[in-house]
Amino acid sequence: MPTSIRSFRYRVAVAIILASPSTSPAQSPLTRVEQAIARSVDANNDSALALLERIVNLNSGTLNLVGVRQVGTILRGELDALGFMTRWDEGEAFHRAGHLVAEHSGIGPRILLIGHLDTVFEPDHPFQRFERIDQKRARGPGIIDMKGGDVIIIQALKALKAAGALDRMNIMVIMNGDEEKPGHPLALARQSLTDLAQRADIAIGFEDGSGDPHKAVIARRGVASWNLTVKGTAAHSSQIFREDVGPGGIFETARILQAFRERLMGQQYLTFNPGVALGGTSVALDSSGERGSAAGKSNVVAEYMSVTGDLRTLSADQLARAKATMRGIVAEHLPQTRSEIAFEDGYPPLAPTEGNMRLLHAADQANRDLGYDSVTATDPLKAGAADISFTAGLVPMAIDGIGLAGWDDHTAKEVADLSTLPMLTKRAAVLLYRLSQTNGTP
């Protein structure tokens, strides 16, 4: 996107926030429309809970393509009823179920809402059903990650519709079918999202974030994978370190990994981890980089070693500098060895921009005007990769982690705090309403 267009869209988005009716202390905290939105959310909380239970009870593990589509069909029906133009972007090309996309045309800024339909729990997992623990809590697969966030999107839009505010709003929704185990190639699997982001002025993700309803995510670290392959010179172990033999593949790998630790450790928000390491006279690592085999003898200098790991950074610049450092270390090879390192970018970093901070302030203002506590930013070290990151550099403002609160996602103890559902839905709806209050479009 040309810099001039991005800059213009940023200025417009900032103007939208500054023009929000909640920013003037002389005005009532909530307008009459906002009060109607809040009342509608409360009046329909039982139907929100029913929708949540219905979709939680449908298995939608990422690789259960039928289940993902079934959840998508239910939520598509909800969006159809609200007047959205919906479609299903098929995922055959990237080996997944696909994505639900919905658009509602209006005259305001283009706001992109991001959810996902899949969970980490496949059909063979014992954790399959919604279960009430008490009046406040319920457990279930994906109840907070992120079917609860999907329900907040739907219910917030319903409240806006009931208050007569949705008709003029310019809203795009995407619910990906493969957030938990993205399809390949990744660029194709996220094309629907990036295409929408290129047209959006604001992006809002409804992941559960840190699980604290008074936290929001304005920065997420990106993740890349790396594969290190090392080749030494095979010889009898009695000849190791000789000038024509050298240290072998395992010692050279140890040098490289230690240098990674010494030169990269301590940088804020940067982590790197060797996850699998195999060395010996022969090494076989599968294409996933997650399993393999190695063979060797204690009296033979190891000829090969292969290591796979990940690299997490908060900005594209930090990622580039880390890659350059690692490549430089690999190039400093010991005698009679040669090494190569290859990187594969995964989820990009979402850097903490001024626009993201302004959007956080708007969410905080909406929360306080509704009578709730302040909303503050989550430490990026506590925020993993998520689909919002693919909007980085494409939208002037982005925020995430404002979905349903709870605990222990990705485990069989995943629990939602149902008491936060109306609060979080009201905050989302009022925030969307305020963001929509502009007479022009970028």
Q: Tens digit of pLDDT for each residue in 40-57?
A: 999 999 999 999 999 999
pLDDT at 2 over 60: no
Mean pLDDT, residues 310-320: 96
The reported pLDDT for the residue numbered 17 is 55
**What pLDDT does 210 receive?**
73
Looking at the predicted structure, is the pLDDT value of residue 4 above 50?
A: no
pLDDT at 22 over 50: no
For all residues of the chain together, what is the average pLDDT?
93
Residue 284 confidence (pLDDT): 92
- What's the mean pLDDT in 185-214? 94
Mean pLDDT of 177-204: 97
pLDDT at residue 290, rounded to an integer = 80
* pLDDT digit string, tens, across residues 53-101: 999 999 999 999 999 999 999 999 999 999 999 999 999 999 999 999 9
| Domain-wise residue ranges, the chain | 3-220+350-435, 222-345
Structure tokens at 334: 């010991």
- What pLDDT, on the 0 to 100 scale, is given for residue 251? 98
pTM: 0.88
Residue 295 pairs in a beta bridge with 282
- Name the percent of the chain lying above pLDDT 90: 88
- Segment 170-180 mean pLDDT: 97
State yes or no: pLDDT of 120 exceeds 50.
Answer: yes
For the chain, the three-class secondary structure string (H helix, E strand, C coil) is: CCHHHHHHHHHHHHHHHHCCHHHCCCCCCCCHHHHHHHHHHHHCHHHHHHHHHHHHCCCCECCCHHHHHHHHHHHHHHHHHCCCEEEEEECHHHCCCEEEEEEECCCCCEEEEEEECCECCCCCCCCCCCEECCCCEEECCCHHHHHHHHHHHHHHHHHHHHCCCHHHCEEEEEEECCCCCCCCCHHHHCHHHHHHHHHCCEEEECCCCCCCCCEEECCECEEEEEEEEEECCCCEHHHCCCCCCCCHHHHHHHHHHHHHHHHHCCCCCCEEEEEEEEEECEEEECCCCCCEEEECCCCECCCEEEEEEEEEECCHHHHHHHHHHHHHHHHCCCCCCEEEEEEEECCCCECCCHHHHHHHHHHHHHHHHCCCCCCEECCHHHCCCCHHHHHCCCCCEEEECCCCCEECCCCCCCEEEHHHHHHHHHHHHHHHHHHCCCCCCC
Q: What pLDDT is recorded for position 24?
A: 46
Question: What b-and-e string marks burial along 430-440, b requiring 16 or more CB atoms within 10 Å of the CB?
Answer: bbbbbbbbbee
- pLDDT category at 26 given cuts 50, 70, 90 is very low
Select the CATH number that applies to the domain covering 222-345 from these four: 3.30.565.10, 3.90.1660.10, 3.30.70.360, 3.40.50.720: 3.30.70.360
Its CATH class, for the domain covering 3-220+350-435, is alpha beta
Q: What is the pLDDT of residue 107?
A: 87
